[in-house]
Chains A and B, each alone.
Chain A
Amino acid sequence: MATEMDHQIVKDLKAAGIDYITSVPCKQLAGVIEVLDETPEIMHMPSNKEDEGMGLCAGAFMGGMKPAIVMQNTALGVVVNTLATLIQFYQIPLPMLISYRGEVGEPVACQVEMALHTKAILNQLHIPTYHFHKPEDAAELPGILEYAQMASKPVAILCDASFWRASA
């Protein structure tokens, strides 16, 4: 069941002109994905893997749309090459709404392993990174989305378990 926060996130995406979204699901993102499917202003085209999704976003961008990707942090292990050689090399603005699994409140031990690498990978790639830990942090979202367009860069928005729990 989508929360008020899920609705607010999609509302902010819409207001920023985001009209194309690809996603690979995560439990924490289920509500956002549910709202996306009820939002006709945004074309939602799920992908099977996040690098494929970034390819779709690059094409949608060159076709005149404003894309974004919704994904889990573990997928940063999948997309390093695509971020460097497609999104960054061709300067494609790409907000990445990322569920930050493996932080405090995580029930699955294995998720911690990629959580430990998440910010390091983003840092290594020089990707502007924002961490939503409390519901009020989401007030920054409109500014972040505008910033991604201005900079023509991928931008990471990490949303951890505490954020989702407090937003429920």
Chain B
Amino acid sequence: MIRNDVFQTLKPIISEHLVVCNIGAPSQELHAMDDQPSNFYMLGTMGLASSIGLGLAAAQDKPVVAIDGDGSVLTNLGTLATIGSNPHGNFTLLIIDNGSYGSTGDQPTYAGMKTDLAAVAKACGTENVQTVSAEDTAAAVQAAIASDEMTIIVSKCESGNVKVPVIKTNPIVIRERFMEEVRR
């Protein structure tokens, strides 16, 4: 299974929840599959989906799912320390770990080599860290949303993208409708 296959299994589980999604192919695939006002798409900055998700989870009580990638987490590795030291039970970080930079031509990442992001996350202080197969990801995310404990899920899937259009929605529209969902 590639990222987009995992997304298909996640659709019924995350569709109603606040989702902060990683830049590039992940946001584009999520947008093409199930565009929701409760999705915040990162259009520009690499590596900050987990940070935005944590800030959002700290600021309000609704469950927040941040969807990040192994390459993006590596670009902002300090985020795992901040998350580990500031646990918020309503926060779930899903790291789609396909061992590659999917948006730029599937170049390999260090997570696909020697680096174990789940071990890093654990060492950074998050108690509930799970490494799951692509097939088991949806069930793990569903359980994490339902639980009161902050969870980091590393979903091991295959490298690859599907052809979907870029997101043309105005960024202020994305933010405004997302904030309306937060307030709802």
Contact = CB atoms under 8 A, between A and B. Distances in A.
| A associates with B | yes
Interface of A: 20, 43, 45-49, 51-65, 67, 81-82, 84-86, 89-92
B179 A62 contact: yes
B113 interface: no
B55 interface: yes
A48 B58 contact: no
Contact of B48 (A48, A65, A84, A86): A86
B103 interface: no
A45 B58 contact: yes
B117 interface: no
Contact of B54 (A56, A64, A65, A91): A56
Contact of B56 (A47, A49, A52, A62): A62
A52 B59 contact: no
A56 B171 contact: no
Interface string B143-184: 000000000000000000000000000011011001100110
Contact of B58 (A43, A54, A92): A43
B89 interface: no
Contacts of A64: 59-60, 179, 182-183
Contact of A55 (B52, B57, B58, B171): B52
20 contacts: A20-B55, A45-B86, A47-B51, A51-B48, A54-B48, A54-B51, A55-B48, A55-B52, A56-B58, A56-B82, A59-B52, A59-B58, A60-B59, A62-B40, A62-B179, A63-B55, A63-B58, A67-B55, A85-B44, A89-B43
A89 B44 contact: yes
Contacts of A85: 43-45
B20 interface: yes
Q: How large is the interface on B (under 10, 10 to 19, 20 to 34, 35 or more residues)?
A: 20 to 34
Given A62-B56, A62-B179, A52 B82 contact: yes
A57 B48 CA distance: 11
Given A57-B55, A81-B44, 11 more contacts: A20-B58, A45-B86, A49-B78, A52-B76, A55-B52, A59-B55, A64-B60, A64-B182, A86-B44, A90-B172, A91-B175
Nearest to A46: B82
Contacts of B49: 55
Nearest to A86: B45
B20 A47 contact: no
A55 B43 CA distance: 13
Contacts of B137: none
A82 B55 contact: no
A54 B183 CA distance: 22
A84 B40 CA distance: 17
